[in-house]
Amino acid sequence: MSNTTSDKPPIGVIGAGWVGLVTATCFAELGHEVVVREIVQDKVDVLSRGDLTIHEPDLPELLRKNLDHMTFTTDMGELLDRTRLMFVCVDTPPTYSGDADLSRVQTVVSEVGDSTEHALIMKSTVPVGTGSAIRRDKHDLAYVSCPEFLKEGTAVADFMHPDRVVIGADNRAEFPGSWAGDAVEAIYRPLGGEMVRTDIASAEMIKLASNAFLATKISFINEIANVCEEVGADVTEVAKGMGLDERIGSKFLHAGIGYGGSCFPKDVTALKQLAGNSGYHFQLLNAVIEVNELQKRRVIGKLKKHLGDNLVGKKIALLGLSFKPHTDDMREASSLVLSSRLRGEGAEVSAFDPVASERAAELLPGVMIKDNPLAALEGADAAVIVTEWPEFAELDLAAVRSTMATPLIIDGRNLLDGAAVAAAGFVYEGVGRPALGGDAEPTAVAASAAAE
């Protein structure tokens, strides 16, 4: 074991992906010595120098600040020698069947061997039943399910101020590994979130059910938005009015062009599969997934409404490519589906993203990626706001107007002030809001708002 000078126990982290890096760096910030095991030597070298391979606000500063008590290594033996509490943060990507691929988790479990001195704390999102399957083989393994609820882009703040910390563990006094749940609670206690102590399967389910519920909320408001477009209501007003009911809450009621990222699409499908594999048909989740897929494509209909049915040769500029702002993560980003659909329609697609351009270039063949918004908008027949980067709300509308061929903005995230955009000479169409400007026929709601 390590001779840390701190009274806090040393912590091991397995996997230096996004979850692992945030977890490791934040534990180091809390004063723990942290040993990170990562199998890719290049990543170990880069991180050991204090450099990061992902874009996450506040993380670079925190990493450099705490580098003196963080070790990055490819050697699992070093982790086992120096730490008892080992947080598993390896990825669990979906397989062709929609189930989670647990091969990396299984490798870690086999590497720990029959040690009863160590605890494996599962941060990776795994199907319900994974913990009990692991413990069927290793009866004495101290195993804790401690799912993570961090959001990309605000992960450091989320870690430091958790709403709750879920700790699923076997606490029976006769179980040799029963110490682990308390040990995990002790290291999270300084952060002040509510501690949810429960069994392993329930902790695993809390994670999947939370993500599935949030995704359901988004698909729900997206469907309300689509109906608003038909009946002349404004979804932003509707969401505000709904969200004031404490039972509903205002968060995750932003209509848009669909959820993406590495978690919601994967976890909703994983929960649907898990239910199906155990004989239950989770109907609601089928609808959540389908609504989300269709939502990404609705932009095409809006473009055709204004530019005509034939998009061949039309120049469409995409503003924002990452699945949400403040990250360069392109996984399951709506831009992927949208740009392929546009290319399929024969459109010429240009794009700009403040941080995801490099990653996007590999994933979006045929899309002309530009290094500033105006360059992407030059000669465009329409601009589509795909990701709500705050800087797009600051664009000089006069400059945008003079560089575009047709003044049409489709705001896929309801980022802009539609009235101001229309006043600057554009046709503006958001999601679930009345179209404004140009020949757009104002709906009853828009007309009454304008009259006030």
Indicate which residues carry an active-site annotation: 263
Nearest 10 degrees: Cα torsion 301, 302, 308, 314: -100
Out of 10, 127, 168, 256, name the contact with ligand UGA by CB under 6 A.
Answer: 256
Q: Which is nearer to ligand UGA, 193 or 425 (CB)?
A: 193
Out of 22, 109, 112, 263, name the contact with ligand UGA by CB under 6 A.
Answer: 263
Binding of ligand UGA by 143 (CB under 6 A): no
Least distance from C-beta 239 to ligand UGA, angstroms? 8
Least distance from C-beta 76 to ligand UGA, angstroms? 24
Q: Which is nearer to ligand UGA, 400 or 415 (CB)?
A: 415
d(CA 257, CA 318): 13
Binding of ligand UGA by 149 (CB under 6 A): yes
> By rule CB under 6 A, what string of x and - marks binding of each residue 29-68 to ligand UGA?
----------------------------------------
Element (H, E) at 23: helix 18-29
- Cβ-based neighbours of 204, under 8 Å, separated by 6 or more: 126, 127, 128, 129, 130, 131, 145, 147, 168
- Cβ-based neighbours of 287, under 8 Å, separated by 6 or more: 219
Q: Which is nearer to ligand UGA, 330 or 427 (CB)?
A: 330
Least distance from C-beta 252 to ligand UGA, angstroms? 4
The gap between the terminal CA atoms of the chain, to the nearest Å, is: 71
Least distance from C-beta 63 to ligand UGA, angstroms? 19
Say how many residues touch ligand UGA, by CB under 6 A: 21
d(CA 449, CA 429): 16
Q: Which is nearer to ligand UGA, 179 or 252 (CB)?
A: 252
Binding of ligand UGA by 254 (CB under 6 A): yes
Q: Which is nearer to ligand UGA, 214 or 416 (CB)?
A: 214
Binding of ligand UGA by 148 (CB under 6 A): yes
Out of 253, 319, 383, 410, name the contact with ligand UGA by CB under 6 A.
Answer: 253
Give the length of the chain: 452
d(CA 32, CA 92): 27
Q: Which is nearer to ligand UGA, 27 or 259 (CB)?
A: 259
- Report yes or no: 235 and 225 within 8 Å, Cβ to Cβ: yes
Q: Token digits for 347?
A: 């459109």
Question: Which residues inside 109-138 make contact with ligand UGA, applying CB under 6 A?
Answer: 125
Out of 260, 407, 418, 437, name the contact with ligand UGA by CB under 6 A.
Answer: 260
Binding of ligand UGA by 150 (CB under 6 A): yes
Binding of ligand UGA by 392 (CB under 6 A): no
Binding of ligand UGA by 302 (CB under 6 A): no
Binding of ligand UGA by 264 (CB under 6 A): yes
Core vs surface per residue 170-209: b (16+ CB within 10 A) or e:
beeeeeebeebbebbbebbeeeebebeebebeebbbbbbe
Least distance from C-beta 272 to ligand UGA, angstroms? 16
d(CA 58, CA 67): 14
Of 252, 255, 258, 260, the C-alpha closest to 229 is 255
Least distance from C-beta 350 to ligand UGA, angstroms? 22
Q: Which is nearer to ligand UGA, 27 or 264 (CB)?
A: 264
Q: Which stretch binds ligand UGA (CB under 6 A): 90-98, 146-154, 281-289, 350-358?
A: 146-154
d(CA 213, CA 66): 36
Q: Which is nearer to ligand UGA, 18 or 426 (CB)?
A: 18
Element (H, E) at 401: helix 397-403
Binding of ligand UGA by 261 (CB under 6 A): yes
d(CA 183, CA 265): 33
Of 417, 358, 347, the C-alpha closest to 380 is 347
Element (H, E) at 166: strand 164-169
Please list the helix, strand and coil fractions of the chain in percent, rounded to the nearest 5, in that order.
45, 15, 40
Least distance from C-beta 427 to ligand UGA, angstroms? 24
d(CA 435, CA 229): 9
Least distance from C-beta 137 to ligand UGA, angstroms? 27
Question: Which residues inside 316-375 make contact with ligand UGA, applying CB under 6 A?
Answer: 323-324
Report the interface residues with ligand UGA, using CB under 6 A: 125, 148-152, 211, 214, 218, 252-254, 256, 259-261, 263-264, 267, 323-324
